[in-house]
Amino acid sequence: MMRPSPRSTALAIAAALALPLAGCAKDKNKSDTSYVAHDVDTLYNAARERLNRGQYKIAAALFDEVERQHPYSVWARRAQLMSAFCYYLSRDYQKSIDSAQRFLSIHPGNKDAPYALYLIAVDYYEQIQDVNRDQKITQQALDAMGELIRRYPDTNYAADARVKVDLIQDHLAGKEMEVGRFYQRRADWLAAVLRFRTVIDKYQTTSHVPEALERLTESYLALGIPEEAKKAAAVLGANYPGSKWYERAYALIQKKMPETSKS
């Protein structure tokens, strides 16, 4: 992802501030990239105004400028988080992550550290892609949510993260199911079994478990391991007796192992 050049940032800041610069009227070519110092209140208020207008990228650049021009001020710390938030709003997720991580590296024990971690996690979460795509970002979102929950378990951020963790795990289970079904279509039954077992063992609280158990029953029968198929169907019947997946598994067992259904 490309970063804005110093020239484009300078132009954005100059346009945002729009301050009369008496005594600084140089030729136009030089004024485009000239460094102009401003007091912290002017910079911070200009950034907040752009944020209120929905001009998130310019606001982020201005908050960055607060930190750059006044690195030791109280406002610099706040500006780091505001910059991360503005980049998030503009959907420039990597810059948001970078800003939040910089805040955490400089102020690890700050009271706003939970929010910074939450922002990183949400940055990853909002980049989660369809199960047909690579799920690296999904795993990063899960890891970030997990870190937030471990470090700050009693915060509202952690409470929201727990909800999102359930959704993320369901998504990852969906990816395993997609791959498992692909292997089934190729009659690669052993590879399919491994994927469905991953769903059952690793994502056992997700909505995909009943289907995984039914497809595990199918795969074991195709592999000629009827006893394992019977076990999978039994677990399905014990936990999801009214589901369509149990009906299918039961019908398969009746068809392939009629003596079992009579006993």
Q: Is the pLDDT of residue 22 over 90?
A: no
Q: Return the structure tokens found at 5.
A: 């050049």
12 or 180: whose pLDDT is higher?
180
Summarize the confidence of residues 222-239 as an average pLDDT: 95
- Say what the pLDDT of residue 38 is: 75
The CA distance from 164 to 145, in Å, is 8
* Among the listed residues 14, 24, 78, the one whose alpha carbon sits nearest the alpha carbon of residue 50: 14
Q: Is the pLDDT of residue 14 over 90?
A: no
Asked if 119 contacts 112 with a C-beta cutoff of 8 angstroms, the reply is no
Summarize the confidence of residues 76-100 as an average pLDDT: 95
- Say what the pLDDT of residue 39 is: 78
SS3 content of the chain, % helix, strand, coil (to 5): 75, 0, 25
- Say what the pLDDT of residue 129 is: 86
1 or 121: whose pLDDT is higher?
121
- Say what the pLDDT of residue 232 is: 95
The CA distance from 199 to 197, in Å, is 5
For the chain, give the percent of residues with pLDDT over 90.
70
Summarize the confidence of residues 90-105 as an average pLDDT: 96
Q: Is the pLDDT of residue 24 over 80?
A: no
Q: Is the pLDDT of residue 127 over 50?
A: yes
Q: Residue with structure tokens 């709003």? A: 89
Torsion, Cα of 178, 180, 182, 186 (10° steps): -170
Compute the mean pLDDT over every residue in the chain, rounded to the nearest whole number: 85
Summarize the confidence of residues 88-102 as an average pLDDT: 96
Here the contacts of 121-128 (C-beta below 8 Å, separation 24 or greater) are 121/145, 121/147, 121/148, 121/161, 121/164, 122/88, 123/88, 123/93, 123/94, 123/96, 123/97, 124/93, 124/97, 125/164, 125/168, 126/91, 126/93, 127/93, 128/168, 128/171
Summarize the confidence of residues 101-109 as an average pLDDT: 92
Contact residues for 124 (Cβ-Cβ < 8 A; gap 6+): 93, 97, 137, 140, 141, 144
Query: What pLDDT band is residue 115 in, cutting at 50, 70 and 90?
Result: very high
Count of residues making up the chain:
263
The CA distance from 57 to 3, in Å, is 11
Q: Is the pLDDT of residue 169 over 60?
A: yes
33 or 241: whose pLDDT is higher?
241
- Provide the CB-side half-sphere exposure for 76 (13 A, CA): 12
Query: What pLDDT band is residue 260 in, cutting at 50, 70 and 90?
Result: low
- Angle at 196 (CA atoms; ends 190, 197), nearest 5 degrees: 85
Q: Is the pLDDT of residue 85 over 60?
A: yes
